[in-house]
Every structure is written in C-alpha cells, then in structure tokens.
Amino acid sequence: MAVPKKKILVVVMDGLGDRACPDLRGLTPLQYIRHPNLDWFLTHGQGGICDPVGPGVRPGSDTAHLSILGYNPHEVYTGRGPFEALGIGMDIQPGDVALRCNFATVDDSLEVLDRRAGRIREPETSELVECLDGIEIDGVECLVKESTEHRAVLLLRGEDLCPDITDADPGGDTHLMMCEPLTEEAEFTAGVVNGFLEECYERLKNHPTNRKRVAAGLPPANILVPRGAGSFPNIDPFPEKFGVSAACVAGVGMIKGICKACGLDVYPLPDNCDGTMDSDFIIKAQCAMEALEEYDFVLMNCKAPDIAGHDGDAKAKSEVIKRLDTMAGYIKDNMPEDLVVALTCDHCTPCILGDHSGDPVPIAIFTRNIVRDEASEFSESGCARGGLGRIRGRDIVPICMDLANRTEKYGS
Amino acid sequence: MAVPKKKILVVVMDGLGDRACPDLRGLTPLQYIRHPNLDWFLTHGQGGICDPVGPGVRPGSDTAHLSILGYNPHEVYTGRGPFEALGIGMDIQPGDVALRCNFATVDDSLEVLDRRAGRIREPETSELVECLDGIEIDGVECLVKESTEHRAVLLLRGEDLCPDITDADPGGDTHLMMCEPLTEEAEFTAGVVNGFLEECYERLKNHPTNRKRVAAGLPPANILVPRGAGSFPNIDPFPEKFGVSAACVAGVGMIKGICKACGLDVYPLPDNCDGTMDSDFIIKAQCAMEALEEYDFVLMNCKAPDIAGHDGDAKAKSEVIKRLDTMAGYIKDNMPEDLVVALTCDHCTPCILGDHSGDPVPIAIFTRNIVRDEASEFSESGCARGGLGRIRGRDIVPICMDLANRTEKYGS
C-alpha cells in the first residue's frame, strides 16, 4: 500500500507560553483570551507540553529553535555571534569567528558613558560601519555589518582563529574591558579583537557622523563593543538529516540566521512581515501556504507574543493572541488537505518576568487520521491534559516526520 | 525588570508511594487516608509523577536522593559505604575506601550464628568499636565507628586502596566469606579487609562486653562483617552547581551523609527529629522554616513512611500520612510568601513488598503564579493527572530553580 507523504508546517509563536498573570485575574494570556481556531487544531489533534531544551532549562530563542529543528543545542550551539551574522546575511565560512557588537560611547580613558550610544540606529550605523569594514589586524580581515538598532556584527576571517575569549562588554561595570583568552589557543584571537577595538576607536572618534551627533547634543558612537564570540556552526543540513526540502518563514534576523545555518531556505517576505509587534500574520500565513507548495517542511515564526512578554504587558499579549487566532483560522481554511501542523512556542516569556523562563510550552499537533485526545483548550494547562504527554523540543520534528509518513523503519 | 529570587523547599517523604494494599481495600495509603494539606499544595500547584532514577529502576534512598539533588547517580554513586561513613560524621578523604559493617555472631569455624549479633546496640557497640578503631594492617589504618543499631563503618586509609572487592556478608549462606578482589588492582585491598576480619575476631571474641553478653544469655558480637565498599565520591558541590546556599533537614545518618557529600550543610536538629517512626515532624518543619531564613535551598527528609513500608504495615503507614499532613499544614501556614515547595518521595516502599519498588512517585510543586492544573488528590493516581507529566528525579531541582527565577538563560 503506497502511503502518500504529507507536508509539514511548524508554527512557532515566539514566547507565547506564560505563568499566572496578576493583571489577568491569575490566568495566563492563553487561558484569558478565547482562541477558537488555535483550539480547533488541538480538538482535532493531540496536545502536550514540551521542554524546548530540557526540564527547567531557560532557553534563548536561538537554542530553542535549534531544538525545535531537531538538533541538540549542547552539540551544535557555538555562541550567538555566528547566528546573528547569519541572520543579517553575512557570509560566514568555516574558520571564521563572529562576535555580536554594540555601538557604545566611551571617553578618552575608555570609560563607558552609554552602552548603546543613545540607541543610535540606521542610517548612522551604516555610515560608521563603512569605515570599519575590512580593517586588517595581524593578517586577519575584520568584516563589520550593522544589525538592528545599535547592534552590529564583527566577523574575523583568517588563519588560527579560536572563539574561546571573554566578552569585552562591561555589563554592570563602566570601564571597557579588553578581551581575555580563555585558552592558550585563543591568545592570538583575543589580541586581534583588542587591536580592532583600538583601531575602531581611532577611526570613529572624529568620524563626521559622530561630529554631527555631538553637535546635536547626542552621544557619539565611538566604539564597537564585542561579545558572544563563536565559530562557524557545524550542523548537519536539515534537508539531508530529514530527507525533505525545507524553508523558514520568519521576519527576525536571528531566526532566519539559525534556519539558514541549519540548511533551510529563507523564504522572502514582504516588509510588513518584519518580526515586530505590527507584523502582519495573515500575510505571513499566506506566504507560509505558498512556501508549502514549493517545500516539504516549513517553519514559521511569529515574534510578537515574545515582544509583549518582554514588555511585561499581559493585556498586549492577549491582544496578540487574538491576531494569532485569526491567523490560525486562515491556516485552517487554506491549508492543503494532507498537512501535518504543529502549533507551539520556542519558550515561555512570562509577563511577570519580562524574560524567558524554563517552563514547558504548550504544543498541539494536528493531521488527518491522528488519534485524538480529550484536550480542547490550547493553553499551558489545557495542552498538559493531552495525549502527547511531556516531550522535548527535539522530538517535534521526528514526531511530525512520522505523522507525515516520511520516516524510515528502524529494524524490520 | 528585576525579578526577585525565591527560596526552595524540597520535602522528601521517604518511601511514601505504594501499590494497592489488600489491607486497605485495594487502595494505597495515600488513597486511603484524607490529607487536605498535602492536597492543598497540589490544588494550588502542579502535580506529576517522577521516576527517581529511571522508569522501572528500583532505587535505594542514597541513589534516589542523589537524583533528587540533580545528580546522575550512574556518574557519582560510588557504593554505600562512603555515604554511610559521611552520615555518621567520619572524616572520609580522597583515597579512602569505606565499607558498611554488621556486628555478627560467629563460632570458632566462622559459621555465622546471628547476622546481627542479637541486634546489639549502643553503648555496647561503642565499647567494642574502641578496641578495633586504629588497627593497622599492611600499613593501612583501619578506622571503625559505630552507626545505628548493630551497624558500623570500616574506613581504610592508606596507599593503593581500591574498592573493587566482593562483600564479606554471607547473605543467605551461613559461612562467613572472605572478600574477593574483582580486579587485579583490588587484590591488596581485599587482603587488608580479610586481615582486619581475622584481627577483629581475635580482639572481640574474649572482649569483656561479649563475656557479659554471653553470661546474660545473649549472642556475642565477635566479628564485624563488611560490605558495600566504595571510594570517596567525586561530586560537584551543589551550591556551586546551582548557585545557591543549601542545607538538609534530616534525621537519618545516610541522608545526612549524602547531602554532606553533595556540599549541603547539615542543619542541626533536636533529638526528637531522629528519623525513626516517632520523629516529630512539626519540630522538623519548624527547623526547616528556620533553615530557610539562612539558606536558599532546603531538602527535608521524613523517614517514617519508609519504615512502615518496610514493616509491611499499611495501617501504620496510613497513620504516618496523617502526621505528614499535619506537618504539611504547618508548612502551609508558616512558610515565607515567595517559596517554591516540592512535595515528593525518594521511592515507593509498597507494603506488599516490604521493600523499595521502581514505581514512579507522586510529586506536587507549588509556588505563587505557577500555572495550575486540575490535579487535586496527592496520591500515586491523583498526581498522575497533573500538568507536570512524567519527569525524572534529576529534573526536580532544575524545575524548582527555574520557578525560583534562579536559572541562567542558555542562549539568547
């Protein structure tokens, strides 16, 4: 009997899970707001809870997405720098070391006056980056590109680089720290980064853009402060690992970067799907449906609930859920007949924390002919009653692949 | 947003879980007896079931407590001897080998007449130990200290010791067996233990204490039978591993020893908190509340349910549950406002077995703002309906740490 292979859509509603919110009478946003379309996928499918990385582990969006794509982040996560670089479209190669940077304001003695240089942004950051990109220190090429707001990436390309160095980010401290090597092998790399820091200050301190800022009473962005050094991630490409063509539908640079590093294509989106609070979920869902015509596997990320969670705004998060529910309705009405759909989040972002937590996240998996359970409310508690039980992030893709009739028999 | 860190209390009701008891109309003691205060923590929190070590693995109290403290016992458990030694306050050091011993009665041909020497206890055991402590065999110092009832610990200190030797305990057999080396490296150590056995018999057979016992018609305690050899455990200290100050509130030597080996402080308790059937749980709970003023993390152990289980006495175990429930009520009424509380057991001790089983144990985790589930009866079956799902012993501390807002983000 030839069983047709199904396509797969994984919808990651970033940071959607929560804890009891005092502003919502002790309910979570998912418990507080009606969401009949999200519930439809659960009622017609199976619910469960999922530890994105592991029980009690508080994941970043990066490590959580690696898990959701079926990888063990403890094996493949090599620091945020390389993922950020991939996310903004830098061409990171084996042997490179990438670091995330902030534009900052320092005085002559390298005291940090403003860690974000007055939240400088484009086009000024692009103007400043232009004079930094391509600096050579000890034979190492320093590639620089602006990222969102006051952020940028520094990519080192050359021989004998090693990412085991400390952050130059002063954190709570006020004096800019030089990078220290954590291993003997990384001494050369620390020296290169510190050399870049000095050269960077020399080139930025009197830069015309900064002169204009000072004249306007704004802090000059006269240094780039690097942190999160990492090397090129060594990841088995997702299409080879699972035998499918795959794309991501995401607006946020970092998510795109992670997906690209895992070998997924980044599906082009219109400007109004940009991973902000105002991102248009219906357009994004339309793009996901289009992508499913071309690809076997599509991961879709909606960033807005995470933003509301970081803002600690339970009411705003509830409003986002209404829009996500409308999106779920669109998917329900427009999806191909034989699709496997997983609705979940990469981590909880409880409003009372304003940050990620290690709580398990709700998950619903739907496809035709799946064994239904009694779970009916897509929420942290409602999904916990479902037939999936408690799974891990990296179980999601194997479970979907099997429901899609795409797995090889192990044994006979 | 600065989120306050909470303190954590883990209450281990030793051996509390059970199987269907014929004496209780086929119910478990937890199903048979009302316990509204234990239920309160579940109703206001989350329930689940927990495999202390792994599904179907029948743990000892020692391996289960290591798991509950977040360790993998397969990595850190080095035999019961060292944990028993730590529990009775012996100063075990790297390189030492420790063995648990019974005082026993043998005849001239080393036939064992009574494996527990008529359940001899203090002060007689202390009198006998005095003539054994400090014996030197082949340059190895033999340190001996009495433990509870007919038990003692033999600690070997010297060069080239190796714990890979068989037990001298005859078990079902009646003839005292000499220790055999399990590896070539352990040949010397087996020789030392066997040399100690001979010297021990020589010194004890005509000891005044034993002459008095024989005159009174009691079996002489004329040998120490060692088993459970192990070396100094190599464990990352709990306070460093989890970034908290930590103490245990326990009456039983072995539990204190395990906690001490894991770097927890042993909180001093009055004599009526001695880990027996009559141990005063309210006083113990008071001490736990005091300890929480000083420490971030407190593990509390109540031994009585395990004792009732080993006695196969389901009615007695039910009575113990009434007292545990009163204790839970005391904790509920006296705990600090922002506390994470986990109620669980280290293993089931089903009355029909009179010994530990590998069944999963019930667990409830409570804290303010936790997402509640619908579980409401703290029992083996009632907790299985809860939102925690099925977890492992070593997930408990990470989950509590995250609920206490004490975890570092992994990634960003």
Give chain A positions within 8 Å (CB) of B408: 58
The DSSP output letter for B218 is P
The answer to whether the CB atoms of B370 and A19 lie below 8 A apart is yes
Per-residue pLDDT of chain B (412 residues), as tens digits, is 678 999 999 999 999 999 999 999 999 999 999 999 999 999 999 999 999 999 999 999 989 999 999 999 999 888 888 888 887 878 888 899 999 999 999 998 888 898 889 889 889 999 999 999 999 999 999 999 999 889 999 999 999 999 999 988 766 667 777 899 999 999 999 999 999 999 999 999 999 999 999 999 999 999 999 998 999 888 999 999 999 999 999 998 889 989 988 999 999 999 888 888 888 999 999 999 999 999 999 999 999 999 999 999 999 999 999 999 999 999 999 999 999 999 999 999 999 999 999 999 999 999 999 999 999 999 999 999 999 999 999 999 999 999 999 999 998 7
pLDDT digits (tens, 9 = 90+) for A138-182: 999 999 999 888 899 999 999 999 999 988 876 656 777 789 999
> Is B68 in CB contact (< 8 Å) with chain A?
no
The answer to whether the CB atoms of A19 and B371 lie below 8 A apart is yes
B19 is written with which tokens? 């199987």
Do residues A308 and A330 make contact, with C-beta atoms less than 8 angstroms apart? no
The answer to whether the CB atoms of A56 and B1 lie below 8 A apart is no
Residue B247 neighbours by CB under 8 Å, 6+ apart = B259, B264, B265, B266, B267, B291, B294, B295, B297, B298, B299
Question: How many CB pairs below 8 A link A and B?
Answer: 102
Do residues A275 and A255 make contact, with C-beta atoms less than 8 angstroms apart? yes
H/E/C letters for each residue in chain A?
Answer: CCCCCCEEEEEEECCCCCCCEHHHCCECHHHHCCCHHHHHHHHCCEEEEEECCCCCCEECHHHHHHHHCCCCHHHHCCCHHHHHHHHCCCCCCCCCEEEEEEEEEECCCCEEEECCHHHCCCCHHHHHHHCCCCEEECCEEEEEEECCCCEEEEEEECCCCCCCECCCCCCCCCECCCCCECCHHHHHHHHHHHHHHHHHHHHHHCCHHHHHHHHCCCCCCCEEEEEEEEECCCCCCHHHHHCCCEEEECCCHHHHHHHHHCCCEECCCCCCCCCCCCCCHHHHHHHHHHHHHHCCEEEEEECHHHHHHHCCCHHHHHHHHHHHHHHHHHHHHHCCCCEEEEEECCCECCCCCCCCECCCEEEEEECCCCCCCCCCCCCHHHHHCCCCEEEEHHHHHHHHHHHCCCCCCCCC
First to last CA, chain B: 16
> Is B51 in CB contact (< 8 Å) with chain A?
no
Could you write out the DSSP letters of every residue in B155-201?
Answer: EEESSS----B-----TTSSBPPPP-BSSGGGHHHHHHHHHHHHHHH
Q: How close B408 gets to chain A, by Cα (Å)?
A: 7
The DSSP output letter for B395 is G
What's the pLDDT score for residue A108? 86
Please tell me which of the candidates B387, B400, B410 has its beta carbon nearest to residue A60.
Answer: B410
pLDDT digits (tens, 9 = 90+) for A197-247: 999 999 999 999 999 999 999 999 999 999 889 998 889 999 999 999 999
Give chain B positions within 8 Å (CB) of A350: 369
Q: What is the mean pLDDT of chain A?
A: 94
> Is A167 in CB contact (< 8 Å) with chain B?
no
Mutate to test the interface with A, among B401, B405, B410 (most CBs of A within 10 A): B410
Q: Could you give the angle at the alpha carbon of B60 between the alpha carbons of B58 and B65, nearest 5°?
A: 115
> Is A320 in CB contact (< 8 Å) with chain B?
no
The answer to whether the CB atoms of B407 and A58 lie below 8 A apart is yes
pLDDT digits (tens, 9 = 90+) for A23-74: 999 999 999 999 999 999 999 999 999 999 999 999 999 999 999 999 999 9
The answer to whether the CB atoms of A312 and B1 lie below 8 A apart is yes
What's the pLDDT score for residue A158? 95
Helix (H/G/I), strand (E/B), else coil: B206: coil
Please tell me which of the candidates A54, A80, A390 has its beta carbon nearest to residue B390.
Answer: A390
pLDDT at A109 over 90: no
What's the pLDDT score for residue B169? 74
Give chain B positions within 8 Å (CB) of A384: 373, 386-387, 389
Q: What is the arithmetic mean of pLDDT over A252-263? A: 88
Q: How close A26 gets to chain B, by Cα (Å)?
A: 7
> Is A380 in CB contact (< 8 Å) with chain B?
yes
Give chain A positions within 8 Å (CB) of B403: 359
pLDDT digits (tens, 9 = 90+) for A15-25: 999 999 999 99
What's the pLDDT score for residue A173? 61
Compare A2 and B300 and report the one with higher pLDDT.
B300
Please tell me which of the candidates B370, B386, B407 has its beta carbon nearest to residue A358.
Answer: B407
Q: Could you give the angle at the alpha carbon of B149 between the alpha carbons of B144 and B152, nearest 5°?
A: 15
The answer to whether the CB atoms of A56 and B397 lie below 8 A apart is yes
Residue in chain B closest to A27 (alpha carbons) equals B371
pLDDT digits (tens, 9 = 90+) for B401-411: 999 999 999 98
Burial classification of residue B172, based on how many CB atoms lie within 10 Å of its CB (0-12 exposed, 13-18 middle, 19 or more buried): exposed
What's the pLDDT score for residue A278? 86
> Is B337 in CB contact (< 8 Å) with chain A?
no
Burial classification of residue B20, based on how many CB atoms lie within 10 Å of its CB (0-12 exposed, 13-18 middle, 19 or more buried): middle
The answer to whether the CB atoms of A56 and B402 lie below 8 A apart is yes
